[in-house]
Amino acid sequence: MVRLFLFVAMGLLHSVTSALDVDEYTEVQVIIDEMVKDHHYDPHYLRGLFAQVELQPKVVEAITRPAERLPWYRYQKIFVTESRIKGGVLFWQENREALHRAEKEYGVPAGVIVAIIGVETGYGVNKGSYNVLESLTTLSLLYPKRSKYFTSELKKFLLLVREEDLEPFSVKGSYAGAIGVPQFMPSSYRAYAIDFNGDGKRDLVHDVEDAIGSVANYLRIHKWITDGPIIDNVQYSEGLDRFVTETLNPSATIATMVEAGLRVDGRHALDTKANVVKFEQEDQSYLYRAAFANFYVITTYNKSLLYAMVVYELSQHISRRLQ
DSSP conformation letters of 78-147: HHS-HHHHHHHHHHHHHTHHHHHHHHHHH---HHHHHHHHHHHHTTTT----EEHHHHHHHHHHH-GGGH
pLDDT in tens, 178-213: 999 999 999 999 999 999 999 999 999 999 999 999
**Is the pLDDT at 112 greater than 60, yes or no?**
yes
Q: What is the mean pLDDT of residues 133-150?
A: 97
pLDDT bin (cut points 50, 70, 90) of residue 240 is confident
- For residues 70-96, average pLDDT: 97
Domains and their CATH numbers in the chain: 2-65+128-178 (1.10.8.350)
Whole-number Å distance between alpha carbons of 185 and 207: 17
The whole-number average pLDDT for the span 279-296 is 94
The question of whether 120 is a catalytic residue gets the answer yes
> What percent of the chain clears pLDDT 70, i.e. is strictly above it?
94
Top mean-pLDDT range of 145-154, 248-257, 258-267? 145-154
Average pLDDT over every residue of 102-106 = 98
> Do residues 294 and 229 lie in contact, with contact meaning Cβ atoms separated by under 8 Å?
yes
Beta bridge partners of 179: 173, 184
* pLDDT tens digits, one per residue of 15-56: 456 788 889 999 999 999 999 999 999 999 999 999 999 999
Q: How far apart are the C-alpha atoms of 172 and 179, rounded to whole Å?
A: 7
What values do phi and psi take at 308, rounded to 5?
Answer: -60, -35
pLDDT for 236 equals: 72
User: Which one of the listed residues 24, 82, 120, 163 is annotated catalytic?
Assistant: 120
